[in-house]
Structure 1
Amino acid sequence: MTDIAHHIPEALLASYVSGTLAQPFALVVAAHVSICEECRANLAAHEAVGGVLLDAFDPISITSDLRNRVMAGLDDDIPPEPERPRGDDTFPTPVLEALGSKAPKWRSLGPGAKQCILNAGKEGSVRLLHIAPGFAVPDHTHGGLELTLVLQGAFKDETGRFARGDLEVADDTLEHTPVAEEGMPCICLAATDAPLKFSAFVPRLLQPLFRI
């Protein structure tokens, strides 16, 4: 087993299995599951329960026409699925897929910090954050849910220490100032469904520019 100390809450995992979790959060969950043996086993248990529930439903009869069209479709040529990129020591497979198997295109957020936005839309946004050792993310709270998965290095905040594989779940009840530990840069995968609420004036002023 791994040394991961902070895992996916049951409610989020159940939402992920049912397919109702918003895409930005689903990417973070998929990345965590890919490197966490404990949550991977928990995911399999949730999927097994879902299979049992489906078996409990009464079968639905279909028309012969629909059955024939489905069977005919099985003869169609289906192109082979492209080979999935293999995760490395920093970026797990789901993150590499989101990057298109390319290196992150980092954009500066100011001294000691940069980001690479992977996706942003109505459901929220998901991005990679690169924080230099010893630097802090400005003090903030949240307008909604934030999931932060550590991919490299570690950070500390008011709730504890988070290293590779650890997942921090934050909402509007948490105000914190994450600080990257000394050593290697801290790289995180972070998803939000609402803008952060920074305490200081300058981060609030630059927030629209950085889309965070």
Structure 2
Amino acid sequence: MKKIKHHLTEQLLMGYAAGTLPEAFNLVVATHISMCDTCRAALAEYEALGGEVMLESDPAQIAEDALEATLAMIDGGRFVEKPAPLRDQRSMFPGPLQDYIAGDIDSLKWRKIGGGVSQLVLNTSKDASVRLLRIPAGTAVPDHGHRGTELTLVLQGAFTDEEDRFAAGDIEVANEDLHHTPVAEEGMDCICLAATDAPLRFSGIVPRIAQKFIGI
């Protein structure tokens, strides 16, 4: 893999370390970190800092019977340890993402959303959504802006937009200030993992009509 050029922001790394991000964003961040030595090292620093803060904080007050109540729930079967899913070392999907999908690119149940682009929505909490996008080589995603934050991680191929070029491992962090038209490069379909916490703002009338059906 080529050197990763576009990385996570400090805010995203801190939010991930603190556990305050939506599940959809956590998945994209974890997948990028599994691919990126730079962000993995930065995360370790934030986690170490968080540990120091906890050590210096005042102890939290809990109920006197908290331990007994927890042990009772364990004995009652409320907590069941689930076996870790087996990960396919041959898959193009990084480990964190394999926990959410079964199969490889061509075996997934892609849904056409127009212009040759396909998506697979992943099951996460409702405060944000995340999906795999398959963009045919040379194809443009409809021109759009953002009502919130969008994280787009490239897993295969590359795309370009008004900001830069994004290849495998790169992540684009978009907000309300960015209006762009991503175009997949020729030669290979572009596979992305994209999370949003608000609907996109499409310019064209056809994408706006289709938006209610494709949920992005």
Deviation at 1:101, TM superposition (A): 5.3
Structure 1: distance between partners of 2:123 and 2:53: 33
Distance in 1 separating the partners of 2:197 and 2:92: 25
- How far, CA to CA, are the matches of 1:140 and 1:188 in structure 2? 17
**Which 10-residue stretch deviates more, 69-78 or 42-51?**
69-78
One-letter identity of the residue aligned with 1:26: N
Q: What do residues 169-193 of structure 1 show as CA deviations (whole Å, max 9, x unaligned)?
A: 1111111000000111000000001
| Of 128, 137, 144, the match for 1:140 | 144
Q: For 1:98-137, what aligned pairs fall within 5 Å after superposition? A: 98-100=100-102, 103-119=107-123, 122-137=126-141
Residues 29-66 of structure 1 deviation map (CA, whole Å, 9 limit, x = unaligned): 01000110110111111110011111112346878755
SS in 1 for 2:122: strand
The share of aligned pairs that are identical, in percent, is 51
**What CA deviation, in whole Å up to 9, does each residue of 1:100-143 have, x standing for no partner?**
45643100112321000013653121000000010000100011
2:205 to 197, 201, 205: 201
Counterpart CA distance in 2 for 1:191 and 1:61 is: 36
**In 2: Cα distance, 1:121 partner to 1:61 partner:** 29
Could you tell me which residue of structure 1 aligns to residue 27 of structure 2?
27
Structure 1 residues 90 and 117: CA distance shift in structure 2, 3 A: same
Residues 1:87 and 1:175: Cα distance change in structure 2 (over 3 Å): farther
Matched residue type, 1:112? G
CA deviations on 1:77-105 (whole Å, 9 max, x unpaired) are 97463244245452111111111456431
Q: Name 2:54's counterpart in structure 1.
A: 54
Aligned counterparts of 1:62 and 1:155: Cα–Cα separation in 2: 50
* Deviation at residue 24 of structure 1 after TM alignment: 1.0
Conserved? CA contact 1:115–1:130, under 8 Å: yes
- Structure 1: 5+ residue stretches without partners: none
Amino acid in the other structure paired with 2:96: P
Aligned AA (1:52): E
1:48–1:179 CA distance, 2 compared to 1 (3 A): same
Equivalence map 1:1-212=2 (5 Å): 3-59=3-59, 66=66, 79=81, 81-86=83-88, 88=90, 90-100=92-102, 103-119=107-123, 122-212=126-216
Q: Which moved more, 1:23-32 or 1:83-92?
A: 83-92
Bigger drift between 95-104 and 183-192 goes to 95-104
Q: Structure 2 regions of 5+ residues with no counterpart?
A: none
